[in-house]
Structure 1
Amino acid sequence: MQRPVCHHFHEESENMPVHTPAPVSTVSRRAFLGAGWSAFLLPAGAVAGGLASPASDLEDFIRNEMRIAKIPGLAVGFARDGVVQFAQGYGMANIGQRKAVTANTMFHIASITKTLTATMIMRLVERGKLALDEPIAGYLDFPVANPRFRDTAITFRQLLLHTSSISDARYYEIDFRQPGHDADLSLADFLKQYLTPAGGNYSDATCFSTARPGAAWGYSNVGYALLGYLAGRIGQLDMRVQTRRDIFAPLAMGHTSWTIKDTPESLSAEAYDLVDGALVAVKPVGFPDWPSGMLRSSISDFMKFIAASANGGKSGGISVLGGDAMAQMLDMQAPAGLPTWLNGQGLGWMASTLGGQTRPNHWGGDPGVFTAAYLAPATRSGVAIFTNVSASAENRIAVKNIASRLLQSASS
């Protein structure tokens, strides 16, 4: 069975799962190489309403990075002081239909979703519904314990910091993805089958690590799925409904969805793999651990969330999160086992080096998509970049270059 792609990527990871999906439709290699990438790089799509266009030299820089990295479609936005400065699309959302990326094109943002899930947990903390360092057990309707350390409680903070000891090893042995549609397996059933000894997907050896909870870092999609489930139980409403009510609606994020079925085809970015120099369209994937990576959003929408995250929790006069809670999210820790490509781990957000500066960030990747978001709290600036092609060494460099240029301009 093919290993599934992780919902998360970092540029220096040597253990990134590899996925080569079956072709659905292909731009022929001969036509592709003959036309060159300039054929796909249409003029920039419509700017989000009321926003300025990026400077022409910046647009040239973005198009050049796309051409080098063979990125068919890209959306980028920049925010400062809680205000979105620009949000714009470049290239093709759908090559076959000659459909350009616009500021309202909806991309699968993959693991950047985790920053939203973490924000919902922190909203519940602010409301006094939970404490970060208390055990999660009292909020669950099924037991969750590392079989090697049953006497050690798993806490909310550990889940947020990826130190809970819940392991994705078994997760990568099973392909939970369903190409073309949302998962049939519910979040609750996914978690019960994975985390409880009676579950059909449970394994003492691979569902939990050998580290005691809280002792070591281990990136966990399953851990963030559990956070989403906990948010639903504690908030007494499915977390997807809570986010629509408490974050998406106040920020006027009308082009954001948790599901494939609720993403209009007319707005959806087609996903592509680059195979032997040719772009191969791949079906969108659904998976049951939606709090860890299923969110779909436009750059015009998501930049409002990024603006708040970079600005003490406030965007356009709307408070997504209080300043203290936002500061806690960006307070970077260095747990044992933190990989060398990271400088720190916060609550949802991570930190690594970009342009010589340590920046809170999160990356995301699934078949046919690669995304990144970076914050610069010192200048209250943030950037997000969405692409509709699977991660590669080239597009990781391109995304970093674009993000670095934007954040350096904010500090100059």
Structure 2
Amino acid sequence: MTDPDTLDAFLMQRRRLMGAGLAALALPAMGKNRSGHATTPDAFDTFVAEQMRLANIPGLAVGLAREGNVRLVRGYGYANIEKRRPVTVDTQFHIASITKTVTAAAIMQLADDGRLTLDEPVARHLDFPLNNPNHPTAPITFRELLTHTSSLSDAKYYEIDFRVRGQDATLSLSDFLKNYLVPTGSVYSSDKCFSKAMPGSTWDYSNVGYALLGYLASRIAAKDMRQQTRERIFAPLGMHDTHWRLSDTPRRRSAIPYDMIDGVLKPLEPVGFPDWPAGMLRSSVADFTRFVAASANGGTAQGVRILRSETMAQMLDMQTPIGLPDWLTGQGLGWMASRLNGAVKPNHWGGDPGVFTAVYLDPASQAGVVLFSNASASSQSKSAIRSIASRLLSVDAHG
């Protein structure tokens, strides 16, 4: 891989997305305040505008949190190019794999409650058998699922496009998992649904593993994890524009996803998929910066605690399992780490056709940043996102 810093490069390659040429797209960048109205351009706005121009990013929303509070949220460019609808701080973006940090937080809340322990076998909580046929006596644990070392493989997952265009998936999470992980399942493959590695031994990024975590959270709490997160994370933090389902996401405020095809940005339909705990969340930067504020501040934001400080520290305690790619410096519980401008930062990236997102944390300064864009990743946009993230972490609340 030519871009060793990003998870997105890895995921997008495995989805075998169409290679895209680049064309100049001169869109005006519009700084927005909390109400979505244009602000006076400043040095940060000018910097973001230039990065967007160079990377052909149609729309971008950015957020900065410090010491548990949201300090800055702004929108730039267009959520809908054709209608010239601008990005505001309330524009809904598909955040893709950043969703995994929320799923991990839900699991850790249950651990804080004493409902599970990280090193216990997860099979005892399931209504179907689970074991790696290559290592049938080795249990799979919560910690292994959280750190992508469970031996659940996405090889078969990437052969089958489970996404549904324009609507929520009709296949349930339960049926998706049973079809994939149980020998009698319709898509089961002992060679492609599980790796040859022993559980706990080797890093292998797994969307299926995070889908299973969401299912486990629902069974353990006897409540759908989507409802759990609404009650225990979103509502307490005031995140009223964060949704698990396409049907709940206001289309009039959603960013249109774009892919570069034959040198032109083309709109795509939004997608739904059954493995929703792995990447289905839609959110606004005004909302999600609140969650990132808590993640960078020991589990507390705006006076609301969603996780114990010890638990949040545990999530950001980075390990280096065998197989960890060289573009990562560590793997935590839900969170990863890599270098940003020479310094190691916990982070997570997200990517899908028409979607490119990133969050970075700096626990030492209790700061975090959020960047949502509505175009497929390119080498230029990856560079732009890193540059903007680095700049955000160095500015104050006024840019």
Length-normalised TM-score, structure 2: 0.94
Same amino acid, percent of matched pairs:
56
Q: Secondary structure, in 3 states, of the residue corresponding to 1:216?
A: coil
Deviation at 1:19, TM superposition (A): 1.7
Deviation at 1:337, TM superposition (A): 0.4
**C-alpha separation in 1, matches of 2:190 and 2:75:** 46
Q: Return 5+ residue gaps in structure 2 as ranges.
A: 1-5
Match of 2:148 in 1: 162
Match of 1:24 in 2: none
Q: Return 5+ residue gaps in structure 1 as ranges.
A: 1-7, 22-28
Match of 1:288 in 2: 274
The one-letter code of the counterpart of 1:161 is: T
Q: Secondary structure, in 3 states, of the residue corresponding to 1:172?
A: coil
**C-alpha separation in 1, matches of 2:62 and 2:40:** 10
Match of 1:94 in 2: 80
Deviation at 1:53, TM superposition (A): 6.6
Match of 1:353 in 2: 339
Q: Following superposition of structure 1 onto structure 2, how do residues 318-357 of structure 1 map, counting pairs within 5 Å?
A: 318-357=304-343
The one-letter code of the counterpart of 1:37 is: L
The two structures, once aligned, show a CA RMSD in angstroms of: 2.2
Match of 1:404 in 2: 390
Count matched residues: 391
Q: 1:108 to 1:184 in 2, by over 3 A?
A: same
Q: Secondary structure, in 3 states, of the residue corresponding to 1:154?
A: coil
Match of 1:231 in 2: 217
Deviation at 1:315, TM superposition (A): 0.3
**C-alpha separation in 1, matches of 2:118 and 2:308:** 16
The one-letter code of the counterpart of 1:41 is: P
**C-alpha separation in 2, matches of 1:122 and 1:51:** 38
One of 342, 347, 364 as aligned partner of 1:378: 364
Q: Secondary structure, in 3 states, of the residue corresponding to 2:387?
A: helix
Kept in 2, the 8 Å contact 1:271–1:368? The answer is yes
Match of 1:209 in 2: 195
The one-letter code of the counterpart of 1:176 is: F
Between 1:85-94 and 1:48-57, the stretch displaced more is 48-57
Deviation at 1:359, TM superposition (A): 0.4
Kept in 1, the 8 Å contact 2:12–2:352? The answer is no
Q: Secondary structure, in 3 states, of the residue corresponding to 2:101?
A: helix
Q: Secondary structure, in 3 states, of the residue corresponding to 1:63?
A: helix
Q: Secondary structure, in 3 states, of the residue corresponding to 1:257?
A: coil
Match of 1:37 in 2: 25
**C-alpha separation in 2, matches of 1:10 and 1:54:** 33
**C-alpha separation in 2, matches of 1:387 and 1:180:** 19
Deviation at 1:54, TM superposition (A): 9.2
The one-letter code of the counterpart of 1:9 is: L
Q: 1:170 to 1:98 in 2, by over 3 A?
A: same
Match of 2:131 in 1: 145
**C-alpha separation in 1, matches of 2:395 and 2:149:** 35
The one-letter code of the counterpart of 1:338 is: L
**C-alpha separation in 2, matches of 1:54 and 1:164:** 50
Q: 1:44 to 1:307 in 2, by over 3 A?
A: same
Between 1:224-233 and 1:50-59, the stretch displaced more is 50-59
Kept in 1, the 8 Å contact 2:14–2:158? The answer is no
Length-normalised TM-score, structure 1: 0.91
Kept in 2, the 8 Å contact 1:9–1:16? The answer is no
One of 76, 99, 106 as aligned partner of 2:62: 76
Kept in 2, the 8 Å contact 1:54–1:86? The answer is no
